[in-house]
Structure formats: structure tokens, C-alpha cells
Amino acid sequence: MTKPPDGITLRQFSLDDYDAVYAFWTAIGPGLGLSASDSREEIAKKVMRDPDLFLLALDGDRIVGTVLGGFDGRRGMIYHLAVARDYRRRGLGRRLMADVEERLRAKGCRKCYLLVHNDNQHAIDFYTRDGWSDMTVRVKIMGKELQ
């Protein structure tokens, strides 16, 4: 596990954190898209599968960052990297990403993806500086609601 900026602790999410985390995500502003997949019930399913890939950054009791990773046994996925506005540009987003990437590697993950809204240049720049690259997609991405 990487060392977060001074005074910040990183720990795994617990379902007891759900209300505070959801409020944090809601307040974070544009760029973090919330959906039915972020309901308490859906997050509980996620935590049962990969509890070690959902991390919180805390300054005391205050949530100041999150990252949610997934691993299906073949590929990794990153969701909801978020850092409180007054904690940005201090290395916290990079620390959260490094920690979740390390955990994914330990599970045998060789390749990981994430999605960024096309108009979120701040996030695109952040991920590019962190070694992520734009993927040329020669396929149509399709989805289907199963509920």
C-alpha cells in the first residue's frame, strides 16, 4: 500500500460508510456519473465480490477521496476516483490510484480500463499524467439494462 499525503489515512470501504460516501459522490460535482448501480444494494454486491478494491481516503473522520476498482478475473476496471476539491493537487488521487492498481496486480490483473466523460479534460489530463492512454476503440460500445 502506498503512503498517502500526511494526515490522510486510506482504508477499505465498509457498507456502514455508504451514506457518507454517496453524499460525497453527490457533492463532488460534474464528472462523476451516478446511476442505479450506485445504490446501497448494488454497492453491497460489489463489496461482497471485491472488498479490497473499494478504498476511502480520510482526513480524520472526513471522507476526502474514493476509488472503486473491479476485477472479473481477466480485466480490471476503475470507477469513481474522486477527491474533495480542497484536497486536489496534493497527490491524493495518484495515491488512491497507485493503491488500487497495486491491489489489482496482486490479483493477477494485467490490463485495466476506466471511462472518462469526453468533456472532462481535467480528468483526462490527470490520467494521462498517471500513465493511462487513450484507447482507439474500433467497436461500438453497447449496453443493456438487465433489470
For the stretch 28-48, pLDDT in tens is 987 788 899 999 999 999 999
Look at the chain and report how many structural domains it folds into: 1
Instruction: Return the beta strands (E) in the chain as ranges.
Output: 8-12, 54-59, 62-71, 76-83, 112-114
In a domain, 3, yes or no: no
Q: Which residue has the higher pLDDT, 77 or 2?
A: 77
8 A C-beta contact, residue 84 and residue 65 = yes
8 A C-beta contact, residue 78 and residue 67 = yes
In a domain, 17, yes or no: yes
- 135 pLDDT more than 90: no
In a domain, 138, yes or no: no
In a domain, 62, yes or no: yes
Instruction: Report residue 2's pLDDT band, with 50, 70 and 90 as the boundaries.
Output: low
In a domain, 147, yes or no: no
